[in-house]
Chain A
């Protein structure tokens, strides 16, 4: 990797950090670079310490790195907190008029952006643009691309705003262009890639899958999906219903799906608690639905704006009784886009709930990724067609079949009546207490598992072919783990990784075979107890030898995994 540059923008909530971060991320994307932008913010609307971290590279990146090359500090706290992480050749941009520092250091560069903004634009609101311009000046990054961005953002509102912003950007640029930066980032040809976060990707994936009904109750970090779909509802003909609570949300989804359209909800742990009876309802009435569980650290309200992989076992067991479900865990937004369609198609095929496990890290981080290909999306509904319906003398919604999947139609599609009941029900769907039949219908629901398991794609295997140690992970840890494997193998640690994005039903036979090849089995999870490993152990009888866990609310980064690996896995003799 030639270019690997890390910019942190820090300050209080409400200071416009996101605006600066979005502008810079898009600029680098358009200049032909890869970025990975993560955010760390406190659960408050104003104040606190918040920061965005933009990692710019000429190779794909999908994880943070801790060392900082450029710190854009909108308050003093940002400088104090991030000071230890500054590279020796780093720069810190701050407004020396409002921040009075006692320390002296050649890395500190005061840019009085409030004053400049007031002089040029008559308003400190333009200070953020000066910061962006200063960043471009330092890196020698062409301002032409910024002009384009500003044009798109403000031209419709007021061309004068574009002009003032450009003047401000140039002022910032001039102040920093002669600084000796470790690196210059010249804008090149655009890569044709896109810049997107996990929430938007799941929303887009749902749209591409033909979702027609979405219901949710706001809860970080799932709210991004609600926001995204609400913004697109008119354009794509989607009913987006903000429910009175999560119980309503999932019951809305069950009703909408029963009535015939693809339906989805998203929530986080607390909301999912309220949804569990609905999860079981969907299992009982065999009505397809998709549920996105955006995880954040629990228990209870926990850390609302931070990340964790702490709800997997809960998702697996949520809801009374025994019934099958799918669980997916996208690695990146690109993966999320395509997995969302798989979740919908398989939910329809097996008439079950598909749960997509996301987390704050996936939901809020921005990636540069190959542009999604909508042509790869196929919508498969598995409903009886007109001829089949016309040919049916009598329709029984819950007829037995080899695969456990019964013929499905919807109210109004034909003269046949459609019955669904949360009580145990007969073939037609009517309430029954026939205990012999009860056994039959339980078996019918559960036999689906066998076929569902065959739909699951195996994990990605990456790293050393002759590995002695395997790292096992799932979901949003992919980027950090993959890079960590490279770093470890560069030190000849003989490491491979198995990384899962389709978790349940678990590919048990494959795992039993594969895991027996390694001396060390290391669970790498963003939680405190290695939940996925425990599930694997329960199914295969194979235990992990080591665990690398992080549960402080922040995601892994590659070097951290390497450091923990040295500590946990490498014995003293090896060191």
Chain B
């Protein structure tokens, strides 16, 4: 039996009380409850506080560049689709630096779980606004307040017909763990945007702030209704919905690549004997 302990990694360098701990715990439990072994899991991240998570859990790790978690994750999935590929990255990395990859990953729909630690701030670089910082919020850099509206990742994902769009909150650990389990089990790209308080640099969006506003979507909510999902995605401020906002089962990227029908690429025999025939094309 695998337990959450089997996913314990290196000692963390996060601030005490940071919301990242809650995501780590939820992920460890989710993996254990799905009875996955560390060897079956590839954790991919970029650079930021969120991106350190793979070191604090256990699995194969590809901790790449800031904002560039998505491309190597997709590539690894294409090369070995037997791996459970999970990205843990920041809001800055995913929605800012790597925004182009985010958009195109949603279009591709690879079978990957994308957990975004959304603390609405750049944590590692000490408190600048991120794409999800609310308009008007004052930071050291944005001394007159962030002049532009926040990026809405869930609405963008729904607009692009993403197959699984969810929001979790570190203050709802059981709910978050279940969302991550659902995301891992979902066939296709699962976007899980997690409200993650940064106790050091975000003095506005605190545990309390989120707790006062976040509510779980009711049992009769229909995540397959795109218009309804879009409405929920645009809800922000006094009420913030948690749960699976949008479900749109559709073809998975790797299943559409004919070459991969013969099994994982990495296990396929390299047969270059046909080269001789190909050379004739040049004669």
Contact = CB atoms under 8 A, between A and B. Distances in A.
Contact of A412 (B39, B65, B278): B39
A216 to B, nearest CB: 13
Interface of A: 29-30, 190, 192-196, 200, 204, 207-208, 210, 212-213, 215, 232-239, 241, 243-245, 247-249, 251-256, 258-261, 263, 277-278, 281, 371-372, 374, 377, 379, 410-412, 415-423, 429-431
Contact of A374 (B10, B60, B70, B276): B276
Interface in B1-60: 9-10, 38-39, 42, 44, 47, 52, 55, 58-60
The listed residue with most A CB atoms (<10 A of its CB), out of B70, B82, B103, B279, is: B279
Nearest to B105: A244
Contacts of B266: 212, 259-261, 410, 412
A372 B283 CA distance: 11
Given A237-B262, A251-B64, A430-B55, A208 B272 contact: yes
A248 B268 contact: no
Nearest to A152: B281
B76 A259 contact: yes
A192 B64 CA distance: 48
A236 B274 contact: yes
Interface residues on B, range: 35 or more
26 contacts: A190-B283, A204-B275, A208-B272, A212-B79, A213-B78, A213-B265, A234-B258, A237-B262, A247-B68, A247-B100, A248-B70, A248-B71, A254-B64, A254-B75, A255-B76, A256-B75, A261-B79, A277-B65, A281-B64, A281-B68, A374-B276, A379-B272, A417-B58, A420-B61, A421-B55, A431-B10
A420 B62 contact: yes
Contacts of A249: 71
B277 to A, nearest CB: 9
Contacts of B62: 255, 258, 420
B217 interface: no
B85 to A, nearest CB: 9
B63 interface: yes
Interface of B: 9-10, 38-39, 42, 44, 47, 52, 55, 58-65, 68, 70-76, 78-80, 82-83, 100-101, 103-104, 257-260, 262, 265-266, 268, 270-272, 274-276, 278-279, 282-283
B42 A239 contact: no
Contact of B259 (A238, A371, A379): A238
B275 A208 contact: yes
Contact of A251 (B71, B104, B265): B71
Interface residues of chain A: helix, strand, loop or mixed (majority):
mixed
B28 to A, nearest CB: 15
A213 B268 contact: no
B65 A281 contact: yes
Contact of B72 (A232, A237, A251, A415): A251
The listed residue with most B CB atoms (<10 A of its CB), out of A253, A423, A430, is: A430
Contacts, number: 183
Contacts of B272: 207-208, 210, 236, 374, 377, 379
A149 B132 CA distance: 61
A237 B75 contact: no
A206 to B, nearest CB: 11
B270 A212 contact: yes
A238 B73 CA distance: 18
Contact of A421 (B61, B104, B275): B61
Nearest to B75: A255
A243 B71 contact: yes
Nearest to B46: A422
Nearest to A423: B63
Nearest to B58: A417
A213 B282 contact: no
Contact of B52 (A243, A244, A410, A431): A431
A193 B282 CA distance: 9
B61 A259 contact: no
B101 A411 contact: no
Q: Which 5 A-B pairs have the closest CB atoms?
A: A255-B72, A255-B75, A251-B71, A259-B79, A194-B282
Contacts of A255: 44, 62, 64, 71-76, 79
Given A417-B39, A430-B10, A248 B270 contact: no
The listed residue with most A CB atoms (<10 A of its CB), out of B59, B270, B276, is: B270
